[in-house]
Structure 1
Amino acid sequence: MDPVARCKVDTSIERVAIGDVQFPLGVYPVEKMEAVQGYAVEFESTDLDADPIDGDAALEQWPDRYVYDIVVSAPRLWHLCLRLISMMPPRFYPILDYIGHDAFREIDPYISYDLIPQDRFLDGVRRYRPFLMEDGMCGFGAMSEEPFMYFFVDEHKIVTVRIEPAMKERLDRLLETFGLREIAEPAGADAAAHEHRSVLVTPDDEPDMLSADEVVEWLREEWRLTLNVDPEVNADDAGRPLGYTPFRCIVRWPGAAGAYRHTEVLVVAQCLAEAEDLTFDACATIETTPDATEESPAIVSADRLTAAQLAEFLGHDRPDAVEYEQTSAVLRMRNLDES
């Protein structure tokens, strides 16, 4: 990974504040509300949730735990996250949510099935701090099993922590150092009508600044994240089956000196797994470049499209100008700008 890759916030965005609560740049209330810092805590017994790191509910469940919902002013979120990460063991499972581009899924949920060292996780958090702390389109966190601890900063920058009972006193002391008290109803941006927005900029004169999509691409690589959806099922968020669906897949090709190039592949497939197979088969027909390395190409995104979106990508003015057979097929391949 590029050691200088980083991201930058749009400094023209004004931060919204209510009382002593400053909101993240990427999510803010659009109606009057009373914002309140603090935390609520309750006990959850072991039979309420299955382990999210493994989708099989028959496997080991979460233990008895306390769950905290924490609201803190945006400028203090960074320091709270560092303290929470310090409570984790040396290796744990990272988590990332991203409000991406899939037409039929609101949030792309990523998890790691590999234990990642704490220093690697921290490196990503530090490098992409503007995105993770301020952007209204993402959430991140981590989970460990021994000891059990889960923390997640959602897209509203509300912090949820789940811990085993033996760790409760330690977390209470940590929150006390931030002047946070247990209250009935902490109130952040999600307590009222609110808006989300992306806050990153990629100035032409600063080519090393990454977009939100590029940050997600690199975090997937560094944290070994996998899209946590069933690749054999093609349904929308309401569970309605979609059948044959257009997909836009982006493939990253490795090159010399850490350079990469990207290819866009438009396919029609019955599910994500088939879309990826079609994409790799199509890419197998591309001749390698002289600067190619032994590293294999990787699909960095595979988003489903509506008919209107497909028409736009294919350069048609009207959605009804595009028709595709109800069968699996590769519609188009094209090279994108190198990144």
Structure 2
Amino acid sequence: MPTCLIDPNIERKVMSGFKFPLGVYPVEAMTPRIGYTAEFEPEDVAEDMGDWEAWPDQYVFDIVVPADRVEPLWQQLFAMMPGRVFPIIDYIGHDAYREIDPYMAYEPIGKEKVTNALRQYRPFFFEDGMVGFGAVSEEPFFYIFVDEHKITTVRVEPEYRARVERLLEAFEIPEIQEPAGADAAAHEHRSILITSTDRPDLISGDEILERMRDSWRLVLNVDPDTNVDDEAQPLGITPWQCLARFSTDQIPHEQYAHVVLTADCLRRAEELTQDTVIKRANPDGDWFDVMVISANRMTNDQANDLLTNTLKSKPIPKNALEEETVLKFRVSDPVSGSD
């Protein structure tokens, strides 16, 4: 069974007795403060949920606790939610123009799937500085999110306020004006997982995310028809590095295709990847199953570095930034990553 393991060389940062997560820690002096804030948000100013129905009136709790208390707090809060929830993941991925990849489920799943995944990949979810996770329910509205700093945000309808406050009191977490975790100072994020060719069962954060996309039915929650940066500035045609998982009637076990291309939006990058894999990996097959796992934009310099890492490689041709172009294609083994 796939699992993950913490790099034993990573040391935990502790300040004033406060244990920070292994994957996110301050790089300057600070005074961490355990506690929570609670604020009321009426429906008309609640955060935009895109395709979701408007959020109701709600109380918002932001909760800071040491790393060794994040998991038990999550477990007790999650127990308050109904049996089916919509999972959420934020991942600090590899896109050159987007800091965080936001994934959401648009179909509810049983809570046991969330609990089983958190148990199987516990170091990743509760210690790694590259991932945040959570869940939301609609009836009743209940939102829990543990961000990449391992700070917990809870949003509940007013009638649930007292229940949450009683739980926080039981955990001896005080209400204070300014709780302070790793994000209250200059800080760094890092992945804390270790992999090894001798241990194929140990998988990386990227591989865990792939499995969660399958199990939790997650969708990348960005506009697929535009190509903008985090400041909403249009980028036009950019280089993309795409990864697709596929199987064929001739080779039924899963393989991975790596495609470098240029495109003007996520949808076109995924469509070009699918078309390229079908044409090059299974031109004569009867059936074909292909899924694009990731599509990350690159800067021109990053793309040139990737394209010129072998003797036969060439940099990006000028016309590739003027029209969609497939620049590189290779197939790798799902375990070793070799051609």
Matched residue of 1:156: which SS?
A: coil
Is the Cα–Cα contact under 8 Å of residues 254 and 293 in structure 1 kept in the other structure?
no
> Partner of 2:333 in structure 1?
337
1:207 to 185, 192, 200: 200
> Partner of 2:305 in structure 1?
312
Q: Distance in 2 between matches of 1:84 and 1:141?
A: 11
Report the Cα offset of residue 295 of structure 1: 7.3
Q: Does 1:17 align with 2:14?
A: yes
Q: Distance in 1 between matches of 2:277 and 2:5?
A: 33
Q: Distance in 1 between matches of 2:114 and 2:143?
A: 14
Structure 1 segment 206-225 matched on structure 2, within 5 A: 206-225=199-218
1:34 to 31, 34, 54: 31
Check 1:176–1:206 CA distance in 2 against 1; reply closer, same or farther (3 A cut).
same
Q: Distance in 2 between matches of 1:109 and 1:293?
A: 36
1:249 to 227, 242, 247: 242
Check 1:87–1:259 CA distance in 2 against 1; reply closer, same or farther (3 A cut).
farther
2:273 to 279, 299, 323: 279
Give the % identical residues: 48
Q: Distance in 2 between matches of 1:174 and 1:260?
A: 45
Query: What letter corresponds to residue 76 of structure 2 in structure 1?
Result: R
User: How many residues are aligned here?
Assistant: 329
2:40 to 43, 50, 58: 43
Matched residue of 1:206: which SS?
A: coil
> Partner of 1:197 in structure 2?
190
Q: Distance in 1 between matches of 2:326 and 2:317?
A: 13
Matched residue of 1:79: which SS?
A: helix
Is the Cα–Cα contact under 8 Å of residues 248 and 287 in structure 2 kept in the other structure?
no
Deviations 1:121-146 (A, max 9, x none): 11111111101111111111111111
Structure 1 unpaired stretches of 5+? none
Structure 1 segment 66-215 matched on structure 2, within 5 A: 66-215=59-208
Matched residue of 2:43: which SS?
A: coil
TM-score normalised over the length of structure 1: 0.92
Is the Cα–Cα contact under 8 Å of residues 99 and 106 in structure 1 kept in the other structure?
yes
Query: What letter corresponds to residue 330 of structure 1 in structure 2?
Result: V
Matched residue of 1:8: which SS?
A: coil
Q: Distance in 1 between matches of 2:216 and 2:145?
A: 15
2:254 to 231, 237, 260: 260
Is the Cα–Cα contact under 8 Å of residues 51 and 60 in structure 1 kept in the other structure?
no
Q: Distance in 2 between matches of 1:315 and 1:336?
A: 19
TM-score normalised over the length of structure 2: 0.92
Is the Cα–Cα contact under 8 Å of residues 50 and 60 in structure 1 kept in the other structure?
no
Q: Does 1:60 align with 2:53?
A: yes
Deviations 1:252-278 (A, max 9, x none): 124899953211011111111111111
Matched residue of 1:130: which SS?
A: helix
Q: Distance in 2 between matches of 1:258 and 1:14?
A: 43
Q: Distance in 1 between matches of 2:41 and 2:281?
A: 55
Q: Distance in 1 between matches of 2:215 and 2:34?
A: 33
Q: Distance in 2 between matches of 1:170 and 1:254?
A: 49
Query: What letter corresponds to residue 46 of structure 1 in structure 2?
Result: E
Report the Cα offset of residue 337 of structure 1: 3.0
Matched residue of 1:131: which SS?
A: helix
Q: Distance in 1 between matches of 2:180 and 2:286?
A: 51
Report the Cα offset of residue 60 of structure 1: 3.3
Check 1:209–1:259 CA distance in 2 against 1; reply closer, same or farther (3 A cut).
farther
Query: What letter corresponds to residue 135 of structure 1 in structure 2?
Result: D
Q: Distance in 1 between matches of 2:32 and 2:144?
A: 22
Is the Cα–Cα contact under 8 Å of residues 316 and 327 in structure 2 kept in the other structure?
no
Matched residue of 1:33: which SS?
A: coil
Matched residue of 2:279: which SS?
A: coil
Check 1:321–1:205 CA distance in 2 against 1; reply closer, same or farther (3 A cut).
closer
Q: Does 1:297 align with 2:290?
A: yes
Check 1:258–1:22 CA distance in 2 against 1; reply closer, same or farther (3 A cut).
farther
Q: Distance in 2 between matches of 1:69 and 1:258?
A: 47
Q: Distance in 1 between matches of 2:216 and 2:307?
A: 34
Is the Cα–Cα contact under 8 Å of residues 150 and 161 in structure 1 kept in the other structure?
yes
Deviations 1:145-201 (A, max 9, x none): 111111111111111100111111111111122111111111100111111111010
Query: What letter corresponds to residue 9 of structure 2 in structure 1?
Result: S
RMSD: 2.3
